[in-house]
Structure 1
Amino acid sequence: MGPVSSPTSTPHPSHERTRSHPGWFSGVMGTAALATAAFRLPSDAGAVDVTGNVLGWALLGLSIVGLLVIVAANLLAPTPRQLLWKDLGSREKGPAYAAIPGAVLTVVLATEAGLPNLASLSVVAWILLFVTLIVAGADLLLTMVFFASAIANRGKLEQGALSGVWFMPQTVLLLSATTLARLSVEPSTAIAEVAAPLAVLFLGAGFLLFLLVGALVLGRLITEPMFQTSGIPSAWIMMSPAAASALAFIAIPLVTPTLLDAQSQTVTSVTSLMAGAMIGFSLWWLMVVTMLTIRLRQEAREFTPSSWGFVFPLAAVAVASGGLAQTWESFLMDILAIVMAALGTVVWCVVAYSTLRWLAARRG
């Protein structure tokens, strides 16, 4: 990610309208998810706990400021409505817009991780529920618009039309399930009765869509140069729904007291094994895309707003590994969480540095 494209060079079609590029919202997602990973580092190691809290608050602050700045920039120079709807229905660009509700959800989850008792306040819990339902509804709308458009425009998918960005809507559905499941344990019975069943519904929608899209992408991966045309970051995004599935499976047992009138150890056992399987797939795919990135290192080095897609998958695996470490009381998963959080931090620093260089080059 060393070289930065010259501002006078001919832009790639996917780099047009960089101010409203969904990649910036992916940056917020990655930063907030990394903050969550930092907050949830093992608390029994004093130095690690202190470092995690300091890093967590710094990253959470940056993610909130970044989200506000990006939203303000888009409000000052909005994308024409006709062009926006065209993008939402586009096979190449539509799914990437799920990063917008995803950014809000990851900030909510990071705030809850930094202030775990915040949602115990009834007013705050209702606000978080309302925000979650709004952004989850926006993602559902985007998913329906995109998939309906893709189905209506029947015919062979053009080269580059199918890429890793197709995994973004499922990732946000699964993050919605995680957020709702965590809200279902709050004191208000009314909140629990709304959040608990919706958490299960969002988990089902997100996980099954992930499996369907995953089969479609992997089936085409061998026959065409998919990531050479859509960009290396889109290859990394495939880890996102796998890690988000793990997060949702870890959180979903929280709904059992509301839905089943009991705390079921069986549910926890099954979902933790499913979460472990998803983390295993994420690690396997990490090795694959690392080798792919090395082979296509020239493309990977060129910075675009999409380069922020490198960060969130690593941070999500770190958060999921930390959650599983608590469930299993596994020292190995603790180590994995620390390693993935450290790796995510290094990648975040590289992408942030490349972003500053890119912005400086554009202003120069």
Structure 2
Amino acid sequence: MPCPDTPAPHTVANPRNLPLSTLSHPREEIRQFTPNWFAATMGTGILALTLGQLPVQIPGLHLLAEGLWLFNIGLFVLFSMVYMARWVLFFNEARRVFGHSTVSMFFGTIPMGLATIINGFLFFGLPRWGGAVVPIAETLWWLDVAMALACGLAIPFMMFTRQEHNIDQMTAVWLLPVVAAEVAAASGGLLAPHLADASAQFSVLITSYVLWAFSVPVAFSILSILLLRMALHKLPHENMAASSWLALGPIGTGALGMLLMGADAPAIFAANGLPKLGEIADGIGLVAGITLWGFGLWWMLMAVLITVRYLRTGIPFNLGWWGFTFPLGVYALATLKLAARLHLTFFSLAGCALVCCLTILWLIVMSRTVRGAYKGELFVSPCIAGLGAGGK
């Protein structure tokens, strides 16, 4: 059954503003844990990857990026354990998430957070531990694919059958379960050339193209609805201010995916008897990457204008602020990839500027998250906000 209506649906706040140690029960933080927290692993992971790929030589920067990636693995493991504990200890309440029109969307953050860890194994793990990390990355990638496909199908199906939605309440949060598949596609493009077997490379690459097509057209359909919604009903409530940046996510990831898959397509297709098709895929990937980058530029500038407007009245902090980070990060990675392919100074400078902005945003959001978690302000599940503190 759908969850009861609650104000600011993905704002998670402890009305008593008390430290976790003073909550009514030591297990309360587990009971109130939601998938929203995995957005922090998305933002942290994408920052690690962007810092590691800056085209400038700064002493200690790569080591800092690698440390941030390891920290992100710890976050993901911790959040996974807490969320699984919630399902074991509070099953009847945990399952109510599927009826919630906003919180359920954040299931997509779980495979997307995992994707940043997989990419880190290839970018940081290979130089550190050698080829032994490739089977780990491959196994995790297929798990990521399964979760992304499940989110991309199950959550929209529940939107159609179980949840209550209105066009005037629609936000870019609708994109989260859909975009997970194209994030997996970009990771597959990065993984494929590292596999030893030519047939395995081909399977991963073709699967990645399917994942891209599974996600991007649906995401762009949602973007079209979002444009209409904002034209007719104006901006969402200030609690959803960060959602204006989520639209940049599928565009930046779509561009990055086409660039990554196309870059190694000639060698992989040639090894499987399709050399001409590989050259075509490379060209299409580059042109699509440039085109989508331009589309993303419009959305990014619009998101900046929208955010400035929100700032006039103030934006209350919630876990949705992590929506500022990952979309900007994937757009920055696409920019840096274009710089490497085209050798244009403009893209290099733009990529560095975007990474600097991402770093500042991450520091702000992470510090506010740590503070909010300590005070207990971020541990309330909207689905059970009206229930008693101790019940299951």
Verify same fold: TM over 0.5: yes
Cα separation, partners in 2 of 1:332 and 1:119, compared to 1, 3 Å: farther
Q: Which has the higher contact order (CA 8 A, sep 6+)?
A: 2
For residue 115 of structure 1, report the CA deviation from its aligned partner. 3.5
Residue 388 of structure 2 corresponds to none
1:136 pairs with one of 135, 142, 145: 145
Give CA deviations for 1:335-363 in whole Å, capped at 9, x if unaligned: 11111110000000111121232233338
Matched, 1:276 2:285: no
For residue 133 of structure 1, report the CA deviation from its aligned partner. 1.4
Residue 32 of structure 1 corresponds to 45
Residue 258 of structure 1 corresponds to 268
Identity %: 17
Distance 2:54 2:31 in 1: 35
Cα separation, partners in 2 of 1:224 and 1:230, compared to 1, 3 Å: farther
Residue 12 of structure 1 corresponds to none
TM-score (norm 2): 0.80
Cα separation, partners in 2 of 1:332 and 1:229, compared to 1, 3 Å: closer
Cα separation, partners in 2 of 1:180 and 1:242, compared to 1, 3 Å: same
For residue 91 of structure 1, report the CA deviation from its aligned partner. 3.2
User: Which is further off, 52-61 or 205-214?
Assistant: 52-61
What are the within-5 Å matches in structure 2 for residues 1-364 of structure 1? 7-8=15-16, 19-42=32-55, 45-47=56-58, 50-78=59-87, 80-116=90-126, 121=131, 124-152=133-161, 157=166, 159-160=168-169, 162-185=170-193, 186-228=195-237, 231-253=240-262, 254-259=264-269, 261-262=274-275, 264-297=278-311, 301-362=315-376
For residue 324 of structure 1, report the CA deviation from its aligned partner. 1.2
Contact preservation (8 Å) 2:252, 2:331: yes
For residue 51 of structure 1, report the CA deviation from its aligned partner. 4.7
Contact preservation (8 Å) 1:101, 1:139: yes
TM-score (norm 1): 0.86
The alignment yields a C-alpha RMSD, in angstroms, of: 2.8
Contact preservation (8 Å) 1:22, 1:97: yes
What stretches of structure 2 of length at least 5 have no aligned partner? 1-11, 18-28, 378-392
Greater Rg over alpha carbons, structure: 2
For residue 300 of structure 1, report the CA deviation from its aligned partner. 5.5
Cα separation, partners in 2 of 1:241 and 1:86, compared to 1, 3 Å: same
Contact preservation (8 Å) 2:121, 2:134: no
Contact preservation (8 Å) 2:101, 2:164: no
For residue 142 of structure 1, report the CA deviation from its aligned partner. 1.9
Distance 2:198 2:32 in 1: 42
User: Which is further off, 60-69 or 26-35?
Assistant: 60-69
